[in-house]
């Protein structure tokens, strides 16, 4: 995201082209045709989870690049690598971590959705496959509601836990969000 010109346009075009494809539909199609092994699901989720964080991080990088301290470092003759490592990276790190945490939550939810549809690896136990088998056995109709509630609660708890970790990391890494205590005026 640091470079402008032809390289910047190429990166933006690649990101925009990747954003056109709906990830859930591609995961379902890929899982249906390539097989429902764990490695296939991991591969497709990895290939489809990069465009949104890449766009956000690129925008933040371009924003930091326009600051006076970066321009003054450029004027002093620092290399692009040094500027990116010492000036830009520390300022975009909170955004990188926040996007990483959100992608983990997204991946948990996507895997659970694929498993619930029966397109995941049914030989392996996951929350999505638990929900799939509970739905297949009509758990709610037969009064066994806990078959649906417990895996659903696990999914929600895992996602919420990652969000709390992300919030804590953001508070630690972003000095503007650090809490002030009484008497710090």
pLDDT for 76 equals: 84
pLDDT digits (tens, 9 = 90+) for 138-177: 877 788 877 788 888 999 999 999 999 888 887 777 666 6
Spatial distance between the Cα atoms of 45 and 62, rounded to a whole number of angstroms: 27
**What's the angle, vertex CA 100, arms to CA 99 and CA 101, rounded to 5?**
90
Spatial distance between the Cα atoms of 90 and 173, rounded to a whole number of angstroms: 9
pLDDT digits (tens, 9 = 90+) for 26-40: 888 887 787 777 788
| Long-range CB contact pairs, 12-15, < 8 A, 24+ | 12/58, 15/51, 15/54, 15/55, 15/58
Spatial distance between the Cα atoms of 154 and 159, rounded to a whole number of angstroms: 9
- Beta strand ranges found along 74-183 (DSSP E): none
pLDDT for 158 equals: 93
pLDDT digits (tens, 9 = 90+) for 65-99: 888 888 888 888 888 888 888 888 888 888 888 88
pLDDT for 168 equals: 84
pLDDT at 20 over 70: yes
Take residue 104 and report the two structure tokens written for it.
């983990």
Spatial distance between the Cα atoms of 9 and 106, rounded to a whole number of angstroms: 27
Spatial distance between the Cα atoms of 10 and 50, rounded to a whole number of angstroms: 16
pLDDT at 4 over 90: no
Q: How far apart are the first and last CA of the chain?
A: 37
Query: Which is more confidently placed, 183 or 62?
Result: 62
Give Cα separations from 142 to 95, 115, 118, 145 (angstroms): 46, 22, 21, 8
pLDDT for 95 equals: 85
- Helix/strand/coil (H, E, C) string of 29-85? HHHHHHCCCHHHHHHHHHHHCCHHHHHHHHHHHHHHHCCHHHHHHHHCCCCHHHHHH
pLDDT for 155 equals: 92
The pTM for the full model equals: 0.75
Average pLDDT, the chain: 82
């Amino acid at each position: 995201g640091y470079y402008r010109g032809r390289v910047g346009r190429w990166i933006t075009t690649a990101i925009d082209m990747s954003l056109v494809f709906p990830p859930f539909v591609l995961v379902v199609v890929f899982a249906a045709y390539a097989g429902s092994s764990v490695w296939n699901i991991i591969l497709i989720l990895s290939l489809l989870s990069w465009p949104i964080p890449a766009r956000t991080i690129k925008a933040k990088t371009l924003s930091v690049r326009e600051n006076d301290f970066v321009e003054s470092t450029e004027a002093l003759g620092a290399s692009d690598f040094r500027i990116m490592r010492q000036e830009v990276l520390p300022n975009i790190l909170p955004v990188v971590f926040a996007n990483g945490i959100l992608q983990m939550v997204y991946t948990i939810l996507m895997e659970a959705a694929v498993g619930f549809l029966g397109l995941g690896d049914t030989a392996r136990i996951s929350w999505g496959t638990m929900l799939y088998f509970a739905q297949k056995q009509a758990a709610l109709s037969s009064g066994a509601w806990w078959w649906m509630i417990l895996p659903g609660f696990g999914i929600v708890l895992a996602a919420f836990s990652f969000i709390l970790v992300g919030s804590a990391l953001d508070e630690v890494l972003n000095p503007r969000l650090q809490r002030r205590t009484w008497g710090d005026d």
